[in-house]
Structure 1
Amino acid sequence: MKTETLFLLSVSILHIYTAKGLREYAFAAAEKLSELGKLDSKEHKGKTALLVAVTANQPDIVQDLLSLSADISICDVNGQTAVHVAATYGFPRVMQVILYAGLRVDLEARNFEGLTPLHCAVISHCATIKAINASSSSTWLADGSLQTQAEDKLMCLRLLINAGASVLSQEIKSNKTVLHLAVKEGNIHLVRFLLSLQLSNMQAFINMKAHGHTALHMAAGLHGSPFQEELIRLLLSRGADPSIRNLENDQPAHLMQSGDKGERVRGFLY
C-alpha cells in the first residue's frame, strides 16, 4: 500500500509540475516514472502528463516528455489526443514540437465526436472569429488577444495540412469537411485560406456533399451574413457547381433569400 501511495503521489507531482511549467522538476519526475514504465499514467480527468503539458501550452515540457517516450496516441476522456488538444486550443509551438518530433502521428485520429484534429482546429478558429465579430470596436481595440488567438489557430491549421492532414476528411455526425464547417459559420478568412490551397482535386473538394449539401448550398443559405456574396463568388471561381441538387432536389439558387440582394446574388448561380 505504501508503494502504491508513493507511486500515485509521484504521478500527481508530475502533473502539477507540468501544469505549472516547472520544466526541471517535471523532467526529473518524468524520468523516474519512465524508468518504472509509468510515464503515461493518467490523473483523475484522464490526462497523461503529455496531455497536461499540451493543455498548459508548455512546448518545452512536451518535447521532454516525448524524448522520454511518452505515448503520443493516448487520448483523454473525450477521445482527444495531444494533436486534438493542440489544435483545439490553437498552440502552434506545441503543434510544431509534436509534428516535428519524428514520431508516427495519426493525423486522421477521431475523437469521440468523430472529429479529426483538423476539424477541431477549424471549429475552434470559427469560434474565435465569431467572438471577434461579436466584440464592439472599443473592446476589440482594447484587447487584441482574440486576433492573436485567431492567427495561432490558423497557424495550427497550416501546420496540420503541411504535415499531411486531409482536407477531404468528413466528420462522422454530418459528413462535413473543413470547408463545409467554415462556410456554415460564414468564416470568410478561413474559406479564403482553404480555397487558396493548391489541391489537385480542388473541384472534388469544393463539391463534396454533407448530407446532400455542398458548400455552395450552405453559402446560399447564409441569409443575413455580410459575407454571403463573397463566399458564393469565391466558391464559384474555384469550381463550385451550381447545378448540383441536395436531398430535397434544391440547387443552391433555390436556397437564396428573397429581396433585392437575394435576387442579385441568385443571378450568379444560374
Structure 2
Amino acid sequence: MDALIVSLLQSCAEGNPDLLESCLQYGLDLNFVTEDGLTPLMYAVTYAGNTQGGSYSRIVYMLLEAGSDPNIQDSHYGRTAGHYAAHCKQSDILELLMECGSDVTICDIEGQSTFHLAITNGLEKCVELMVETIPALVNYTTQSGTAPLYLAAKAGSYKLCQKFLAFECDPYVIDPLTLQSPLHAAAEQGHASIAGLLLKKEQSVLDATDARGLTPVHLAASNVSSSLVLSAICDLVGSDVLELTDASGLTPLMHACASGSETCVEFIVKKKANLMAKDSSEGKTCLHWAAESVIASSDIISLLCKKRKGLVTELDVHGRIPLHSAATSGNVGAIKSLLDHGSDISAVDNDQYTPMHWAVAKIVLLPLTIASLMSLLKNDWTNGMRVVKSKRITIAPAYAVVDRALVNTSITAKETIGA
C-alpha cells in the first residue's frame, strides 16, 4: 500500500488533523475503498466510536470538505458512513454527515437504513432532524417491513414514539418478522410509559398474539424485573385482562410463574386473578408452572400455596401434582416449599410414578441435589420411606435405576441407559 495512503488512514484511525492536513495537500482521491471495504471517511467514523481521544469530528469535517462522498456503501455490508455513525452512536458526527448530504434512506444488506439504526440506538435528536427534513420517514419501514414506531417502542424511546404518533402513525402496525405490534415490543422490554402512550391510542391490540402466540399482557407478565407495564395496562383497561389466555391457554400469571417474576406474580395475585385456572394443553395450574421453572423462587411457591391451599393437590392431564413438576426440574427450593405446604411426596401420576421417580428418570438432578432432596425426606417427612418400596426398583424403563444403599440413610442414583 502506498505510504501516503497509509498515512491518510493512520490520520483517520488516530483522529490526527495535522497528519490528515499534510496528506490532503497531495490531492488524493478520498473515495477509494481499502481491502476492508471501507473508505477513509468510514475509517474515521468507526474509530470515533471505538477510540477515546482524537479529534474525529474535525477529521470527518476535513474529509467531507475535501470531497469525501458520505453515500458510498462499503463492499461487504452495504453500509454508508451514516450507518457506521448511527451504529457507533456518534450523534455529532451523524449530524455533520447529514449536513453534508448523507442519504439516511440508503439500506444496507440487512435492509436497514441510517434512519432505522439511529432509532434503534437512541439517537433521538438525529432522528428528529431527519423527520423534520423528510416527514415521510415516519412511515419508512426497513426492507423486511419493520416500522419506525415499532423500532422506537422496542428501543424505549418515549420521545420518538410520541413524535411518530403525532404524525398519525398506525399504533397497530404489525412487524412482519415477529407479528408484534409496538405495544408487544414495549411490553416485552418493560417500557411502561410507552405502553401507556400506545394504549391511549389503541386498546384493541391487547388480545392480539404475536408469532409465539403471546399477547402484550403475557409479555409484560414475563418481565422479571418490574410489574410496571402490567400496572400501566390495568390502570387503563382494568384487571380483567389478567385472565387473557395465549395460544396455548396460559394466563399471564402462568407466564409470570414460569419466568420467575416475583414482582409480577405478587401484582397479579393482589389483583385477585383466578389462581385455579389451568392451561388448555396440559391442564397445569400456575403452581405447576412455578414448580416446573428452574428459576422460580420458593417465595413464589409459598405465596401461591398460602393464597390457595388446594393448589398443591391439583392434577394436570397426566395426573401429576406440582411436586412432580418441581422434581422434574430439579428445583430443590421449590420442592422444599411444596413439602412445607403439605404436598404428598408419595403421590403417583397416571403412570404410577412418584415425584422421586421423575427426579431420577429425567436425569436432571446432580448428586448434590439428590442428596439434598433425600436429606429433606429423611429428616423432615416420616412418609419419605414410601418413595422406594423395594431394595431395587426400576425408576422408569430405559432411563435409570435407584439403588437403595442403606435403609433410612441414603439413596444414590446412577444412570443405566438401556437398563
Shared fold, TM over 0.5: yes
1:142 equivalent in structure 2: none
CA distance in 2, matches of 1:226, 1:255: 14
1:196 maps to which of 306, 330, 333: 306
1:94, CA displacement in angstroms? 1.1
2:249 equivalent in structure 1: 114
CA distance in 2, matches of 1:73, 1:123: 20
1:88 maps to which of 222, 230, 233: 222
Matches within 5 A, 1:1-270: 8-9=139-140, 12-33=147-168, 38-44=170-176, 45-71=178-204, 72-90=206-224, 91-103=226-238, 105-125=240-260, 153-185=261-293, 187-197=297-307, 199=308, 202-203=309-310, 205-210=311-316, 211-218=318-325, 221=327, 226-227=332-333, 230-236=336-342, 240=343, 245-249=348-352, 261=375, 262=377, 267-268=382-383
Q: CA RMSD in A?
A: 3.5
CA contact (8 A) 2:345 2:355 kept: yes
Q: Unpaired runs of 5+ in structure 2? A: 1-135, 361-369, 387-419
CA contact (8 A) 2:223 2:264 kept: no
- Identity, % of aligned pairs? 19
1:97, CA displacement in angstroms? 0.5
Which has the larger share of strand?
2
Change (3 A) 1:32 1:113: same
Q: What secondary structure, in the 3-state scheme, does the structure 1 residue paired with 2:140 have?
A: helix
1:132 equivalent in structure 2: none
1:251, CA displacement in angstroms? 6.6
Q: Taking structure 2 as the reference length, what is the TM-score of the superposition? A: 0.46
1:24, CA displacement in angstroms? 2.8
Q: Bigger relative contact order, structure 1 or 2, given CA contacts below 8 A and separation 6+?
A: 1
CA contact (8 A) 2:320 2:349 kept: yes
CA deviations on 1:94-127 (whole Å, 9 max, x unpaired) are 11101111347432322233322111111111xx
Q: Taking structure 1 as the reference length, what is the TM-score of the superposition? A: 0.69
How many corresponding residue pairs? 228
Opposite residue 140 of structure 2, the aligned amino acid is L
CA distance in 1, matches of 2:247, 2:175: 19
2:30 equivalent in structure 1: none
1:9, CA displacement in angstroms? 2.1
1:85, CA displacement in angstroms? 0.7
CA distance in 2, matches of 1:51, 1:80: 9
CA distance in 2, matches of 1:95, 1:167: 17
Opposite residue 183 of structure 2, the aligned amino acid is L
CA contact (8 A) 1:184 1:222 kept: yes
1:155, CA displacement in angstroms? 0.9
Which entry has the higher C-alpha Rg, 1 or 2? 2
CA contact (8 A) 1:107 1:165 kept: yes
Change (3 A) 1:161 1:228: closer
Opposite residue 147 of structure 2, the aligned amino acid is S
Opposite residue 350 of structure 2, the aligned amino acid is L
Change (3 A) 1:66 1:234: same
Change (3 A) 1:232 1:117: closer
Q: Unpaired runs of 5+ in structure 1? A: 126-152
